[in-house]
Amino acid sequence: MDTASDLPVFDPRKLDDAYYGNPFPVYADLRRLAPVYRCPDGSWFLTRYADINAVYRNPRLYSSDKRIQFAPVFGEQAPLYQHHTTSLVFNDPPLHTHVRKAFGNALSPKMIVAMESGVVALVDRLLDGIEERGRFDLIGDFAAAIPVEIIGNLLRIPPDEREPLRRWSLAILGALEFGLSAEQIALGNRCVEEMLAFLSDFVARRRGSLSDDEDDLLARLIRWESEGYRLSDLELYHQCIFLLNAGHETTSNLIGNGVHLLLAHPAERERLRADPALIESAVEEILRFESPNQFGNRTTTAGAELGGATIPAGSILTLCIGAANRDPGMFPDPDRFDIGRSPNPHLAFGAGIHTCAGLSVARLEGRIAIGRMLARVPRLRIDGEPVRSRRARFRGFDSVPLATR
């Protein structure tokens, strides 16, 4: 293929198994021949690092507000619409600035440092069970079990009330995929309602017993006030829903993709074994190579010029993080998995004012979960066919059968 007209039609609403298995050749063709690609539904699909980075860093021209986009999909009264248009990630300043300050204050560096021993204990407990069993599923028995506990701890949700969190999270974030069925939307709506009911009861209990010495994330969000701004109860619930969801599937996928990548690249695994300090750059390379969050979205507030294309006001852009992170203009030999890669300025956590607020939590979980699993189970191997999840926005596996001996 030499010109844009040679490209087969790319429609993010109609993706096939080959794409879910390995979307990177599709991204490479788009990036080379049509880096600002007009999709059949009129939206634009961006694949070049420089363009995506420029969009992230200009929130005035490229808005995160999704009201116009989500109204026809969900309906303005629908719980999914109410949730997604209230959460900070889908808002612009000034609302975004207020809520982001509250999050910045709540997820303090001190709190992150204090989390480490809890993450180690949790990972070791899971590994004890796994070593005894000999065979296990990397996702269900390990990767998916970690974030739910960590965010549950951050918000101090009692352990016996955490069971539905993963199901809620998958359904609510799943409703951001392309080409949704009526059943998926109905399930997402039901899960927002269930989560709101749970949080209104849970926050009321916390408020009723909150003492001055309690300094966890939820206590800080409840008390937060700055420049006359406080979160209303409903805003607080929606931000908590977002927090529980944002740190959930993404981090499971970081852990699942990471362990799978290292098992599939024995030389890199051996490098890590010989030099465990490489775990920090290994986590960055996993985030770049198989970015858990593959897409972001923005809407133009005025006409824009990007990569030689003229884009009208009100256009919807998909920022393909997964493609930006394999851009040869930014990363030498981008399709090589290199756990020592440096520098590695990937966009897996986005960039600009909406840069992931939980990136230190995610890095901590990734470092401990992946590092300890490979160190403690030296004979770990893939023992069956891994199953990729059929989701384009969130890249990960539904299951990866592993054996410990």
Burial of 195 (0-12, 13-18, 19+ CB in 10 A): buried
Cα dist. 369→131, 187, 252, 277, 287 in Å?
Answer: 15, 31, 10, 14, 14
| Minimal distance, residue 378 CB to ligand HEM, in Å | 26
Closer to ligand HEM by Cβ: residue 29 or 306: 306
Cα dist. 32→177, 326, 329 in Å?
Answer: 25, 12, 11
| Minimal distance, residue 274 CB to ligand HEM, in Å | 26
| Minimal distance, residue 127 CB to ligand HEM, in Å | 20
Instruction: Look at residue 2 and give its three-state secondary structure.
Output: coil
- Shortest-Cβ-distance residue relative to ligand HEM: 358
Closer to ligand HEM by Cβ: residue 29 or 367: 367
Euclidean distance between CA atoms 322 and 27, whole angstroms: 8
| Minimal distance, residue 143 CB to ligand HEM, in Å | 11
Identity of residue 290: E
Closer to ligand HEM by Cβ: residue 29 or 261: 261
Torsions phi, psi for 210 (to 5 deg): -70, 125
**Residue 43 Rama label (left phi>0; alpha psi -120 to 50; beta):** beta
Q: How far is CA 332 from the centre of its chain?
A: 25
Q: Rounded to the nearest 10 degrees, what angle do helices 145-154 and 249-264 cross at? A: 140
| Minimal distance, residue 293 CB to ligand HEM, in Å | 4
Euclidean distance between CA atoms 155 and 192, whole angstroms: 18
Closer to ligand HEM by Cβ: residue 169 or 404: 169
- Helices and strands (DSSP H and E) totals, the chain: 17, 12
Euclidean distance between CA atoms 17 and 14, whole angstroms: 10
| Minimal distance, residue 369 CB to ligand HEM, in Å | 11
Residues at the interface with ligand HEM (CB under 6 A): 64, 88-89, 100, 103, 151, 243, 246-247, 250-251, 254, 292-293, 296, 348-350, 354, 356-358, 361-362
| Minimal distance, residue 56 CB to ligand HEM, in Å | 7
Closer to ligand HEM by Cβ: residue 144 or 151: 151
Closer to ligand HEM by Cβ: residue 35 or 358: 358
Closer to ligand HEM by Cβ: residue 34 or 89: 89
